[in-house]
A and B are shown apart, each in its own frame.
Chain A
Amino acid sequence: MEKGVNQPFSEHIIEATKSVFAMMAGLDIEKDKVVVSNTDKVKGDVTGVIGLSNDRLKGSIAISFPEELGKSVVANMLSMESEQISEDDLKDGIGEITNMIAGDLNNRIGSIFKMSLPNIITGKGHLISLSNKGTPVAFKFLVNDQTFYILGTFEEKN
């Protein structure tokens, strides 16, 4: 088995991501590689983060884009041109993508989690850290020769 894909929910995270991009933005995306440690740096310009928890587990899903690609994806969702996407459109759109991926993942595993509302982090080239706790995993995806990352971390509650 490929390194990292035995992490909890990995295959469902991949499928949920592909489904949201195909249905909402008309984009076919391709998983490139798996990152499972902080020695691999994950950078982005705009990142959506959402929490998931239940009685036993807590975790989060994050999706991080370079600004140009983020605008391009949101533009596809709205049938607009990238140049027409404002900063607010970008943040709101990435928030919705984050919400839908987490929601689709949750539905695929039997709606076992309660979800938070998504938060958006912006800043050119910010580093996204994989938690040292739990079972962190990040997937690098390709769309139109550009890359973005999905990160997931889940751990047992104390």
Chain B
Amino acid sequence: MRLLIVDDSATMRKIIMRGIRQSGLNVDEFLEAGNGKEALQVLSSNGGVDVILTDVNMPEMNGLELLEALKSSGETKDIPVVMITTEGSEAVVEKAKQLGVSGFIRKPFTPETLSSTLSSVMG
């Protein structure tokens, strides 16, 4: 499995990777990006991934804008996107659902939450 983690905090990207490894999920490769714009560049340069985990509040291009861009492209519209964020407002959740988000994880989280959400999204 290839997984793209999008968060403006390098520390949070490391925590997410550590949590996924601890959970026992079999990930062959982690790709990283610091915002939505970088995520689109990473996908363009490195090919597709199996799942994208993205923060919502980021500079340059936020998680909702990234989700919208992914779902409007034929090449990326089928990649499951999980939002992993402190942002829990109804407005953001509703907007993400309308755009086709596959799952939500709220920070703070446990490795078990990461594992169960990713397993559910991957079917």
Contact = CB atoms under 8 A, between A and B. Distances in A.
B14 A78 contact: yes
A104 to B, nearest CB: 6
Contacts of A103: 85-88, 106-107
A50 B59 CA distance: 16
Q: How large is the interface on A (under 10, 10 to 19, 20 to 34, 35 or more residues)?
A: 20 to 34
Nearest to A20: B108
A111 B104 CA distance: 15
A107 interface: yes
B9 interface: yes
Judged by DSSP, the binding face of B is loop
B18 interface: yes
B109 A23 contact: yes
B10 to A, nearest CB: 6
A74 B89 contact: no
A102 B57 CA distance: 13
Interface stretch (A34-42, A92-100, A148-156): A92-100
Judged by DSSP, the binding face of A is helix
A113 to B, nearest CB: 9
B11 A100 contact: no
5 contacts: A23-B109, A74-B11, A78-B18, A115-B86, A117-B59
A122 to B, nearest CB: 15
B12 interface: yes
A3 B121 CA distance: 47
Contacts of A132: none
B27 interface: no
Interface in A1-51: 19-20, 23-24
A122 B15 CA distance: 23
The 9 A-B residue pairs with the shortest CB-CB distance in the complex, in nearest-first order: A103-B86, A23-B108, A111-B89, A92-B11, A107-B88, A93-B11, A20-B108, A100-B107, A24-B108
